[in-house]
Amino acid sequence: MQVSRDEAREVAVVALLLVAGLRVLSGVVQLIEEFDREHTWESLAGRFLAPVGSTLGLFVFGAAMIVALSPSGSVSRRVMRAARDGSGFVGLLGVASSLLSLTTGFSTTGRIWFALINGFAATVLGFTGWWLLRNLDPNR
């Protein structure tokens, strides 16, 4: 079966967004396993959001770049809107992750830095993708 470039771009964006959803699911599984270790809700949220947020940031930024670099009309509005909204969500997730990492009471400063860096990465990637797609002029 042959696919056009437009169809290939659409499939690539949808695949990246699906992988982002699967990453959230794996984070939920990780979170469920952490319940047995007597953590507070804040530490559980910090453990969940830090690695998941930065990974999602890579996926949604990749989807945003595919959409932004595609010729006008080659990616449907629905997929473009999903990539834009997903990017904004990941940006907010990164902010939440960074704030939670400061209040979770991790036992070592290395864990705090790990969570902060992952949160900042998610924030930068998510909001950059959101800004690009929000301000994209398809006619230029």
Tens of pLDDT, residue by residue over 10-45, are 777 787 778 777 777 777 776 776 676 666 676 677
Report the 3 state secondary structure along the chain: CCCCHHHHHHHHHHHHHHHHHHHHHHHHHHHHHHHHHCCCHHHHHHHHHHHHHHHHHHHHHHHHHHHHHCCCCCCCHHHHHHHHHHHHHHHHHHHHHHHHHHHCCCCCHHHHHHHHHHHHHHHHHHHHHHHHHHCCCCCC
pLDDT digits (tens, 9 = 90+) for 55-102: 788 888 888 888 887 787 777 888 888 888 988 998 898 888 888 777
pTM: 0.71
